[in-house]
Structure 1
Amino acid sequence: KTKMAPASSALKYAPTDDVVVVEKEEEEEEELILAGRVPPVPLIEGWLPGGNAELDGGGGGDDPSTTIVPMDARALSQMEREVLARVRTHYEEVLLGGDDDGPAFDNLPEEMVCRVLRTMMKRHSDKPRDVPIQTAEMLMATLKWRKSIDADSLITRTLEHTAEYHGGWPTRVLYATDKHGRMLVYDSIASIDSEYLRMISPEEVELLHAQLLECISIERRRRCAMSPARMRVYSHLHILDLEGFSLVDAMKEHVLRTCKTIFGLSKRHFTGCVYKIYIVNCPLAFYVMWNVLAPWLPHDTIAKIRFIRGSGIDELGRDEGVDRSSLPAWMGATPRGMPMVGGDERNGLLVSDLVASERQRRHHAQ
């Protein structure tokens, strides 16, 4: 049986052929998004056939510098649609079978489908026949995993060791964006207290990091919906600042265990969420640790990583179109002096604060 998501539930920046802007619907939609009650953009009838000239920037082609829509969020190409048709067949006939209560393919989040399909086409480019099977299986596995942990309500739950996890690894979402509106997510090695991580099991780390990634996704979608162009953005840039890196601390068993758990979770269930990873202030000593980390990452993820000896400010401006004036003043300085609360709005917000405000927002919306 085919279960089709109602068109009214789709956000207006979804890749459809006909984009109809209705002020009342947008206002209601925005309220739902701000209340945290809108899931990732669902598939809607008509989103597959062809691109959207208006949203693609009018003749942008495949050059990301000439389109207002990021390449990873654009409507599927003819080749991608052909592959997706085979994904659907494997999903419905092999994985779903006669299970009428299973997640119907047409109800899969459009954002997830685009990300997984495009990642699998890169990851298995040497074996294109495997792409439909691998894509369908990853989609099904992710849906089952999300159901098992009740991912849609994960942001509302107070998890054990939340304070220790966010205190030990304080991730920050900056207000700066790249030229396509992608958020910048920032981690500083100097701000990480690895001793906090010692008391947290891999299972707890996975749940806590899933909550973090869910929060980042919600914030990304909220910014998209509130932007004047209601832009489609499916990924973010991640900056890892290694100023203050200590090889002795980094190679501790519980630190490597945490890294392995985080990488595994992102690979299995949040694939394609990161557009590029900038590892800045990168010392030579880090490459010793990199030899341990690299085998845990798929080649398509490794291809997204840039190692930079300096602060990365020039590269972010030149290559990603990030406005230098929108970056925090402490980028390029000593991160140990980075403010954790208050101050310049360019500092952004800690993910732990975003989680707390999202939980409060949903509580008031009930």
Structure 2
Amino acid sequence: MKEVSMPLEGLAGTEEQNAILEQFRAQLVEQDLIHDGDTIGTDDFTLQRFLRARNFDLNASVAMWTKCQEWRKTFPERREVFDYWPMWFHKTDKDGRPVSIQHYGAVNIPELYKHITPERFWWYIITMADSIPREIIPAASRAAGRQVDGTFLIVDLKGYSLGQFWQMKDIARAAFQVSQDYYPEMSAKFYIINAPWTFTTIWSFVKLWLAPRTIEKIDILGADYQAVLLKHIDAENLPAFYGGKCDCLEVGGCKWSMPMREGR
């Protein structure tokens, strides 16, 4: 394979950039550094970010990608984080907002802390929060061709209990506080679905943690939520288990579309 090393400003146009992009992808495939379903991203835009970061120097970009993949493998707890506190991004709503899904009903704090320390898990929470204004919203805005005003958040309480709430309330409260204080207005829409009968008690605590403006954005729904979600999210973008038509078979299911877990 011919090696290319050329500064970005020396490129005559997109033909040269596209040629380097093709070589970059081919070299990553050849070295077994990229695979279908990698949550680091395998699309052209993701690869172009690495190329731009190294001024379209092919060798430097491959080295950067390699180091990134090696770094990601140093976090073996990612799978456990997802297994015991499922959170992921899944496509966009009709206004181009990234859809963020958190399944609180599947949270298991005792099991989570068998695999990761509370301090390290907090690092994951902050990393996810920081990625929204830094990476996720800008990427969604570029895809939409206009500024996207935040995320579309779905909190799924199916199977949620008061016991789970007491286990996670401190970290949930801290996460809400960080989000409101340091990442303001990142959630444009906020739907709580599958709210159990015990949620009245839970909500009496949760609403004390939230700013009035945040509370105004929240809609609380029971099990009959599908029609509401479909008003805002195209069926092709909504997971089938929430009443849509998406199954993300190419990555093993919608839950693996962009989870906070290991890249392979």
The TM-score, its normalising length taken from structure 2, stands at 0.63
Assess if the C-alpha contact under 8 Å between 1:173 and 1:185 holds in 2. Answer: yes
Which residue, out of 324, 334, 349, partners 2:235? Answer: 324
Deviations 1:236-255 (A, max 9, x none): 01101111111223223xx1
Q: CA deviation at 1:330?
A: 1.1
Asked which structure has the greater RCO (Cα within 8 Å, sep 6+), the reply is 2
**Which residue of structure 1 lines up, in the alignment, with residue 219 of structure 2?**
306
Q: Distance in 2 between matches of 1:224 and 1:347?
A: 23
Q: CA deviation at 1:206?
A: 3.0
Q: Please state if 1:204 is matched with 2:120.
A: yes
Assess if the C-alpha contact under 8 Å between 1:281 and 1:310 holds in 2. Answer: yes
**Matched-pair identity in %:** 23
Q: Distance in 1 between matches of 2:106 and 2:220?
A: 20
Q: Which secondary structure state, in structure 2, belongs to the residue aligned with residue 275 of structure 1?
A: strand
Q: Distance in 2 between matches of 1:171 and 1:340?
A: 19
How many pairs were matched up?
Answer: 208
**Which residue of structure 2 lines up, in the alignment, with residue 276 of structure 1?**
189
Q: CA deviation at 1:326?
A: 2.6
Assess if the C-alpha contact under 8 Å between 1:251 and 1:289 holds in 2. Answer: no
Q: Distance in 1 between matches of 2:46 and 2:198?
A: 48
Q: Distance in 2 between matches of 1:258 and 1:341?
A: 34
**Which residue of structure 2 lines up, in the alignment, with residue 189 of structure 1?**
104
**Which residue of structure 2 lines up, in the alignment, with residue 80 of structure 1?**
none
Q: Please state if 1:262 is matched with 2:178.
A: no
Matches within 5 A, 1:21-36: 34-35=49-50
Q: Distance in 2 between matches of 1:348 and 1:189?
A: 17
Q: Which secondary structure state, in structure 2, belongs to the residue aligned with residue 186 of structure 1?
A: strand
Q: CA deviation at 1:216?
A: 4.2
Q: Distance in 1 between matches of 2:260 and 2:190?
A: 21
Which sections of structure 1, spanning at least 5 residues, go unmatched? Answer: 1-21, 39-152, 358-366
Assess if the C-alpha contact under 8 Å between 1:202 and 1:261 holds in 2. Answer: no
Q: Which secondary structure state, in structure 2, belongs to the residue aligned with residue 251 of structure 1?
A: helix
Matches within 5 A, 1:141-152: none
The TM-score, its normalising length taken from structure 1, stands at 0.47
Assess if the C-alpha contact under 8 Å between 1:182 and 1:233 holds in 2. Answer: yes
Q: Which secondary structure state, in structure 2, belongs to the residue aligned with residue 187 of structure 1?
A: strand
Alpha-carbon RMSD: 3.8
Decide whether aligned partners of structure 1 residues 325 and 292 sit closer, same or farther in structure 2, where only a CA change above 3 A counts: same
Assess if the C-alpha contact under 8 Å between 1:311 and 1:332 holds in 2. Answer: no
Matches within 5 A, 1:1-366: 34-35=49-50, 158=74, 161-175=77-91, 177-198=92-113, 203-217=119-133, 218-225=135-142, 227=143, 230-252=145-167, 255-318=168-231, 320=232, 322-332=233-243, 342-344=251-253, 349-353=257-261, 356=263
Deviations 1:247-281 (A, max 9, x none): 223223xx112212211221222211111210001
